[in-house]
């Protein structure tokens, strides 16, 4: 047992040296997680900080000016033009200079003073439906505030019910709070699978794999020697992204660091198992990289990172039961934002443990066939 452990430790040291001395491997480890985390954190945000719009005010009354002043004073809406004719609306929207155009009718103030409905038309550019939906949501909030203030200042009856929104775990509804913690699992899986998939393929190309076969290493010792370094590197990448999330984006971590890393260890077991499975099949580094990308892309797209998992077709939900990233995203976000414990996350821990055991067992079986 002691001799076997020493052999595994020697192979682990060899793997660390091989990874750290390879410029391509060093690049995969250190730079991409930081750059991708910053890019996703800033660019892949569903929040709108500036909404360009144009207005066609056909009333030119004190009420319409007050309404537009509230819109401009929100800090989000940026008025680009005051249109004079309805024919100009299509020109501004077609050229993408504005996201939507607001048209205020001639009877706007008169209807408000009479206590009637005063319609305001918003014509939006539907070519970007998600952005428009968010912008119109902000616009609706401004309209509600204007209605409440108008009713109070003109002695009109207040609406019988007023909705007061409160958001748990993300008070400001900042989409970055949901995206950046999800990158802990996503980017770690990309880097870990890629490194693991290249490990055996690199040795085959360099001719050192044949030398490994004539050594007294057993298949499970080779598996352990290949797995542990990549899991350690994956934990290092996860820690880097976690630090960026907390100290650069200032997203508060409210959960248990022990529970988070326990889940990450199980997740990395599954990711390393998939990488070893690929590396045991691929003959060259190009084949290993291509095979890893073929696995990573659908796993990332169908994990719930970009679209809600429950909104996917049922057959895809059933098929993605094998996707470790699906469980990792749920676990990471719930620990990070909700302070979820082992009891709430038992199903995620169980699924990751099963996937990790199955992938590592499958990779070990392939290794034994290759070595026999």
In-domain check, residue 169: no
40 and 61, same domain (yes or no): no
Whether residues 17 and 72 share a domain: the answer is no
Which residue range(s) make up the domain with 103? Answer: 51-153
Is residue 238 within 8 Å of residue 183, measured between CB atoms?
A: no
Angle ∠(318,319,322) on CA atoms, nearest 5:
105
In a domain, 160, yes or no: no
In a domain, 158, yes or no: no
Same domain for 359 and 314? yes
State residue 371's pLDDT score: 59
Structure tokens at 239: 């820690």
Q: Given CA atoms 254, 255, 261, 265 in this order, what sign does their dihedral have?
A: negative
Contact assessment for residue 105 and residue 119, using Cβ atoms and an 8 Å cutoff: yes
Mean pLDDT by 10 residues, the chain (372 residues): 79 77 71 79 71 91 89 89 89 86 88 82 78 81 83 67 62 79 88 81 71 70 81 90 90 92 93 84 80 84 78 80 91 90 92 91 76 58
284-321 burial string, b = 16+ CB within 10 Å, else e?
A: ebebbbebbeebbeebbebbbbeeebeebeeeeeeebe
- Asked if the structure places residue 296 within a domain, the reply is yes
Task: Give me the CATH number covering residue 103.
Answer: 3.40.1710.10
Q: What was the pLDDT predicted at 257?
A: 94
Coil, strand or helix at 297? helix
Same domain? For 329 and 302 the reply is yes
DSSP letter at 304 equals T
Length reported for the chain? 372
The radius of gyration of the chain's CA atoms, rounded to the nearest angstrom, is 28
DSSP state of 183: H
Residue 186 falls inside a structural domain? yes
97, 182: one domain: no
215 and 116 in a common domain:
no
Starting at the earlier edge strand, list the strands of the sheet with 100-104: 77-82, 51-57, 100-104, 120-124
CA distance 62 to 65: 5
Same domain, 351 and 273: yes
Q: Are 329 and 185 in contact (CB under 8 A)?
A: yes
Same domain, 29 and 178: yes
Residues sharing a CB contact under 8 Å with residue 86, sequence separation 6 or more, in sequence order = 56, 103
Judge if 183 and 318 occupy the same domain: yes
Question: What pLDDT does residue 28 have?
Answer: 67
Give the number of domains in the chain: 2
Q: What angle do CA 355, 359, 365 make, to 5 degrees?
A: 145
Q: Say if 267 falls within a structural domain.
A: yes
pLDDT at position 41 is 75
- Backbone φ and ψ for 80, nearest 5 degrees, come out as -100, -25
Q: Is residue 366 part of a domain?
A: yes
* Nearby residues of 283 by Cβ (< 8 Å), 6 or more positions away: 201, 204
Same domain flag for 361 and 226: yes
- The single-letter DSSP state of residue 76 is S
User: Domain for residue 164, yes or no?
Assistant: no
What SS3 class is residue 51?
A: strand
Separation between Cα atoms, residue 300 and residue 187, nearest integer Å: 10
DSSP 309: G
Burial of 253 (0-12, 13-18, 19+ CB in 10 A): middle
Q: Is the domain of 28 the same as that of 118?
A: no
Do 104 and 214 reside in the same domain of the chain? no
Would you call 53 exposed, middle or buried from its count of C-beta atoms within 10 A (0-12, 13-18, 19+)? buried
Cβ atoms of 12 and 225 closer than 8 Å: yes
């Amino acid at each position: 047992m002691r001799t076997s452990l020493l052999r595994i430790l020697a192979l682990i040291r060899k793997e660390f040296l091989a990874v750290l001395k390879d410029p391509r491997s060093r690049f995969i480890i250190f730079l991409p997680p930081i750059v991708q985390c910053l890019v996703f954190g800033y660019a892949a945000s569903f929040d709108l900080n500036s909404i360009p719009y144009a207005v066609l005010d056909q009333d030119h009354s004190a009420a319409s000016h007050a309404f537009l002043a509230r819109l401009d004073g929100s800090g989000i809406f940026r008025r680009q033009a005051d249109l004079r004719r309805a024919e100009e609306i299509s020109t501004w929207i077609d050229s993408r200079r504005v996201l939507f155009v607001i048209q205020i009718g001639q009877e706007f103030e008169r209807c408000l003073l009479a206590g009637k409905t005063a319609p305001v038309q918003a014509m939006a550019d539907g070519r970007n439906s998600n952005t428009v939906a968010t912008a119109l949501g902000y616009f609706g909030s401004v309209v509600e505030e204007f209605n409440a203030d108008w009713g109070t200042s003109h002695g009109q009856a207040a609406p019988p019910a007023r909705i007061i929104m409160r958001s748990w775990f993300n008070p400001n509804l900042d989409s970055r709070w949901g995206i950046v913690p999800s990158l802990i699992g996503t980017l770690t899986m990309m880097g870990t699978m890629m490194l693991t998939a290249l490990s055996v393929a690199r040795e085959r190309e360099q001719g050192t794999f044949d030398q490994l076969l004539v050594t007294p290493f057993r298949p499970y010792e080779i598996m352990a020697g290949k797995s542990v370094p990549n899991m350690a590197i994956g934990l290092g990448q996860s820690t880097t992204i976690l630090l960026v999330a907390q100290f650069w984006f200032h997203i508060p971590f409210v959960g248990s660091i022990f529970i988070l890393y326990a889940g990450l260890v199980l997740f990395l077991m599954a990711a390393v198992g998939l990488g070893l499975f690929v590396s045991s099949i691929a003959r060259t580094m190009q084949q290993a990289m291509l095979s890893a990308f073929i696995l990573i892309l659908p796993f990332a797209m169908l994990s719930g990172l970009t679209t809600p998992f429950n909104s996917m077709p049922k057959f895809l939900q059933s098929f993605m039961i094998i996707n470790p990233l699906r469980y990792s995203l749920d676990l990471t976000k719930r620990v990070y934002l909700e302070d979820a414990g082992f009891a709430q996350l038992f199903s995620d821990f169980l699924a990751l443990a099963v996937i990790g055991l199955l992938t590592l067992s499958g990779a070990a079986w392939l290794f034994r066939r290759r070595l026999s």
